Amino acid sequence: MGRVLLPVLASALLLAGPTQAADAPPGASSCTGCHATTRIADSVIPRIAGRKAADIVTFMREYKSGAWPSSVMGRIAKGFDDQQTDAIAAWFAAQPE
Amino acid sequence: MSTRRTFLKLAAAASLAPSVASAQGAGAGKVVVIGGGFAGATAARTLKALEPRLTVTLVEPSPVYTACPFSNSVLANLREISQQEFRYDGVKRAGVIVAETSATAVDADARTVTLADGNKLAYDRLVMSPGIDFNWAALPGYDEAAAQKMPHAWKAGAQTTLLRNQLQAMDDGGLVVMSVPPNPYRCPPGPYERASLIAYWLAIWKPKSKLLLLDAKDAFSKQRLFQNGWAELYPGRIEWVPLSKGGKVTSVDPATLTFTTEFGSHKAAVGNVIPPQRAGAIAGQAGVADRTGWCPVEPVAFESTLRPGIHVLGDAAIMGGMPKSAFAANAQAKVCAAAIVALLAGAKPQDPILINTCYSLLAADYGISVAGVYRPDKGQLTDVPGAGGVSALDSVGGLRGQEALYAASWFRTITAETFG
Ligand SMILES: Cc1cc2nc3c(=O)[nH]c(=O)nc-3n(C[C@H](O)[C@H](O)[C@H](O)COP(=O)(O)OP(=O)(O)OC[C@H]3O[C@@H](n4cnc5c(N)ncnc54)[C@H](O)[C@@H]3O)c2cc1C
């Protein structure tokens, strides 16, 4: 719905709207310490908002098993079970890119 | 739709005109945040993004925040101190009221905060994120005056510049001495990153100089990675003296730059004292610090176990397995903001999962990391078993260079998320 409105009006409406606090699944809010929510001009760490959930899940699974090499993500992926990973991936997939 | 909306609001908060935000008016409650560091600034911005009807006031005396992460690179002349500085314009743009003064008293029963400018703020929920203060009494000879001779540089800013200037003015061949306090303290791997980067700088500019690292502990964060790196990059330049070999500093003499340990004394050309620490003084006043000097909290909303209605975040809090880091402070703040919004709406906050990742540099292009995943367990934030750990010991495929790049990217991302 926001798409047809002017950006400023859209944000005003969003801010005025009812709050769904804490709707991010457990763990998701920590990810944005490295995976930026805004466009950081100079970051080598990819943004994950708006990526396909299935792709995020694949990366997490392969990092976790060690099949794909990683520096830090393998160590982090091991802290999440499949259900938790699925929820985080679905949440990021639903965010604007 | 709701998930999308919250995220948009987070993103929109930065670009929103203040008039629009204040036009929402009060209604959902009042939150006061004491301290505008990685924890407090993140908490304030996230609260407004999740619930724009909240009145959020951030109390912070300094108009400019000087970040500690990457301040060791300033010592090694790899960065300017100005690259560490952040202002609160982005926090204000998010609709947060910034009170540029300090909090002098908290009344947990009346739910009010008294400010140094004479004002008093009422709150429904209070967030305290005052960071650390030094426990001057714990190290004889060391006080604020002594810190002008033997800088701590453990709160970044003028102290960082002072230590850098002392290093630059030192004669080649002069001995640099650092002292490291017992646990817990801000940034567990920080002293060893500092020793590495000073050694990096010495190797170029003062090649005859060495660094003595006097430690009140027998083990430290990422120890093997650091020690392997020192042997590889700076052979013979850094001498680490652990507790069991007489590393614990029992007093210092700023007049002669002398460190006295249980086993003897060492005279420095440049002396860096990292003093014992405790939660920022206001935490003691508010009654949220316990006898250790730090603040116990429950592991879901980080509410004080000593004073209801007060949430303590970041370095000041006892966060179970989570270290005192900027990454952790920012992660805790986002969880706490969502929990406060839930609590004010009469809902139960969900059990969180938190991540920490701390990078350390051993040289400009040589990075290592430690990571952990945490969740509430038996009243504590606890490491999720099997997760986390440190970088691989054998550096394959340019891993160290890659982690140095990740470190720099992390700093840009987290400061943008924290300060807008
Ligand atoms: C050399 C060094 C290197 C580091 N490197 C890293 C790193 O690479 N990665 C990492 O994650 N972490 C790192 N850290 C740790 C990081 O700096 C801290 O963990 C982080 O700053 C904690 O955030 P905080 O918000 O709890 O406290 P702070 O950032 O200290 O913020 C506290 C704020 O509260 C304000 N305040 C205090 N008292 C009051 C009062 N009474 N009223 C109002 N305001 C008040 C202060 O002015 C300050 O702005 C490093 C630290 C050091 C010293």
Q: How far is the CA of B328 from the centre of ligand 1 (A)?
A: 11
Both tokens assigned to B203: 């190797």
pLDDT classification of B92: cutoffs 50, 70, 90: very high
The predicted-structure confidence for B32-91, as pLDDT tens digits, reads as follows: 999 999 999 999 999 999 999 999 999 999 999 999 999 999 999 999 999 999 999 999
Closest CA to B154 of B60, B92, B72, B237: B72
Neighbours of A40 (CB within 10 A): 18
pLDDT in tens, B106-118: 999 999 999 999 9
Cβ-defined contact of A80 to B5 (cutoff 8 Å): no
How far apart are the CA of B315 and the centre of ligand 1, in A? 7
| Burial profile B254-291: b = 16 or more Cβ within 10 angstroms, e = fewer | beebbbbbeeeebebbbbbbbbbbbbbebbbebbbbbe
- Nearest-CA residue for atom 41 of ligand 1: B103
| CATH (domain of A75) | 1.10.760.10
The string of pLDDT tens digits covering residues B235-288 is 999 999 999 999 999 999 999 999 999 899 999 999 999 999 999 999 999 999
pLDDT for B206 beyond 90: yes
Which overall architecture, per CATH, does domain B138-275 show? 3-Layer(bba) Sandwich (3.50)
Complex ipTM? 0.91
How far apart, in whole angstroms, are the C-alpha atoms of residue B150 and residue B144? 10
Q: Please tell me if the domain spanning B3-133+278-350 has the same topology as the one spanning B138-275.
A: yes
Query: Packing angle between helix A7-16 and helix B2-13, nearest 10 degrees?
Result: 120
Which residues on chain A are in Cβ contact (under 8 Å) with B358?
Answer: none
Considering only CA atoms, which residue is closest to atom 7 of ligand 1?
Answer: B69
Transcribe B253-301 into DSSP letters: ETTTTEEEESS-EEE-SEEEE---EEE-HHHHHHT---TTSSEEB-TTT
Ligand 1 pocket test: pick from B33, B34, B38, B160 the residue with the most ligand atoms within 8 Å of its Cβ. B38
In this model, does residue B14 exceed pLDDT 90? no
Q: Is residue A5's pLDDT more than 80?
A: no
Residue A44 contacts B, CB cutoff 8 Å = yes
Place of tokens 């457990």: A26
Among the partner-chain residues A11, A44, A78, the one whose CB lies closest to the CB of B12 is: A11
Q: Which residues pair with B106 in a beta bridge?
A: B113
Residue B191 near residue B153 (C-beta atoms within 8 A): no
Whether residues B373 and A72 touch (CB distance < 8 A) is answered with no
Residue A21: how many other CB atoms lie within 10 Å: 21
Structural domains counted in chain A: 1
B228 C-alpha to ligand 1 centroid (Å):
29
Provide the β-strand partners of residue B179: B214, B273
Q: Which domain holds residue A75?
A: 2-93
DSSP element (H, E) containing B179: strand B175-180
Q: Does the beta-carbon distance from B9 to A38 stay under 8 Å?
A: no
Nearest CA in chain B to A41: B412
Average the pLDDT over B388-417 and give the result.
Answer: 95
Q: How many CB atoms lie within 10 A of CB A58?
A: 13
Positive or negative, the CA dihedral B134, B162, B405, B274 is negative
Q: For A42-57, how does the pLDDT look when each residue is reduced to its tens digit (9 = 90+)?
A: 899 999 999 999 999 9
Segment B257-271, tens digit of pLDDT:
999 998 999 999 999
Q: By CB neighbour count within 10 A (0-12 exposed, 13-18 middle, 19+ buried), where does B203 fall?
A: middle
Contacts of B412 in chain A (CB under 8 A): 40, 42-43
Asked if A34 lies within 8 A of B6 by C-beta distance, the reply is no
What is the structure's pLDDT at A9? 37
Higher pLDDT, B1 or B302: B302
Residue B130 CB less than 6 A away from ligand 1:
yes
Q: Helices B326-344 & B399-419, crossing angle to 10 degrees? A: 40
Would the CB of B72 count as within 6 Å of ligand 1? yes
What is the fold, at CATH topology level, of the domain defined by B3-133+278-350? FAD/NAD(P)-binding domain (3.50.50)
Collapsed DSSP state (helix, strand, coil) of residue A73: helix
Which of B75, B325, B369 should be mutated for ligand 1, with most atoms under 8 A from CB?
Answer: B325
Q: What is the DSSP letter of B315?
A: G
Measured between CB atoms, which of B28, B330, B406 is closest to A44? B406
User: pLDDT by residue (tens digit) across B301-329?
Assistant: 999 999 999 999 999 999 999 999 999 99
User: Relative to the CA of B194, which ligand 1 atom is closest?
Assistant: 1
The per-residue pLDDT for B397 is: 78
Cβ atoms B276, B217 nearer than 8 A: no
When pLDDT is averaged across residues B84-105 and rounded to a whole number, the result is 98
User: Does an H or E element contain B363, and which?
Assistant: strand B354-363
Q: Which residue has the tokens 């070999």?
A: B245
The residue of chain B with its CA nearest to that of A63 is B387
Mean pLDDT in residue range B377-397: 94
Q: Is the CB of B333 under 6 A from ligand 1?
A: no
Q: What number does the ligand 1 atom closest to the CA of B155 have?
A: 53
Question: Hey, what are B379's tokens?
Answer: 């009243």
Cα B52-B40-B51 angle, rounded to 5 deg: 15
Q: pLDDT band for B396, please (50, 70, 90 cuts).
A: confident
Question: What's the burial of B144, exposed, middle or buried (CB within 10 Å: 0-12/13-18/19+)?
Answer: exposed
Which of A13, A19, A38, A44 to mutate to test binding with chain B, by most B CBs within 10 Å of its CB?
Answer: A19
Task: Verify whether ligand 1 is closer than 6 Å to residue B229 (CB atom).
Answer: no
pLDDT of residue B7: 52
B357-372 residue pLDDT tens: 999 999 999 999 999 9
> What distance in Å separates residue A57's CA from the closest CA in chain B?
17
pLDDT in tens, B168-200: 999 999 999 999 999 999 999 999 999 999 999
What gap in Å lies between CA B137 and CA B276, rounded to an integer?
A: 9
Please tell me the pTM assigned to this model: 0.93
Phi, psi angle pair for B282, to nearest 5°: -60, -25
Pocket test for ligand 1, best of B83, B315, B368, B419 (most atoms within 8 A of CB): B315
Cβ of B62 less than 6 Å from ligand 1 = yes
Q: What is the pLDDT of residue A23?
A: 83
Domain residue ranges in chain B? 3-133+278-350, 138-275
pLDDT tens for residues A64-92?
999 999 999 999 999 999 999 999 999 99
- Could you say which of A27, A34, A91 has the minimum Cβ distance to residue B413? A34
Task: Judge whether residue B2 has pLDDT over 50.
Answer: no
Residue B420: closest CA among B5, B12, B6, B7: B12
